[in-house]
Copies of this chain bind each other. A is one copy, B any other.
Amino acid sequence: MSQSVEKQSGKTRIQREKREQILQAALEVFAAHGFRGSTLDQIADAAKMSKPNLLYYYSRKEDIHQTLIARLMDTWLAPLKTLNANGEPVEEICAYINRKLEMARDFPRESRLFANEILQGAPHIIEMIEGELKTLVDEKAKVIEGWMDEGQLNSCDPRHLLFAIWATTQHYADFDVQVRAVLGTDKGDESRFEDAKEFLENLFCKGLKVR
């Protein structure tokens, strides 16, 4: 079936590939220099196409950015969505932290794109944040509060808990340069994230666990 879809979209498939190529290039560039700091020339170069050709697929710089941001939001909310109200509380939260940390490791550019956006006042995603994100957080905060009320978790403000999880995990992507500099060059990527994982599990899960 996916076969037939691909068949019937002959031109479209190529289009999709090119668009993907552009988005990857733009992600790289936007994450590194911010929206205004990035130029179409840089993106076109990174995407290995000419600037007019690039504009054939996305007619405005803004469009590329919007597309990236929109796609990012899905990825971004996914981990929290999977936090399971019926799971074992500490395990759930630990798993969430790990998922976020893996994202920081595997999608640092996305993380930086998001950070850039928020730093500038979230002009493009403020609605999504005040809407979808807030709703999701409200829901999951209730789940966590439920666990606390049941005595399964030490009690604390669940929203600030989420902030802390976001901050600490994304830090390894957003402040990467600083992290590397402070740890020194002898530490490889692997061990850096493993150490972080251990540290964060210890920090969050020991503190949350009811004894």
Q: Which chain A residues have a beta carbon within 8 Å of chain B's beta carbons? A: 31-37, 112, 115-116, 118-122, 126, 129-130, 133-134, 137, 156-157, 159-164, 166-168, 170-172, 174-175, 177-179, 181-184, 195-196, 198-200, 202-204, 206-207
Contacts and interface: CB of A to CB of B under 8 A. Distances in A.
A158 to B, nearest CB: 10
Contacts of A206: 207
A98 to B, nearest CB: 15
A23 B189 CA distance: 38
Contacts of A134: 181-182, 184
A172 B160 CA distance: 10
A166 B156 contact: no
B35 A160 contact: no
A199 to B, nearest CB: 4
Contacts of A126: 177, 181
A63 to B, nearest CB: 18
A176 to B, nearest CB: 8
Contacts of A34: 33-34, 36-37, 116, 119-120
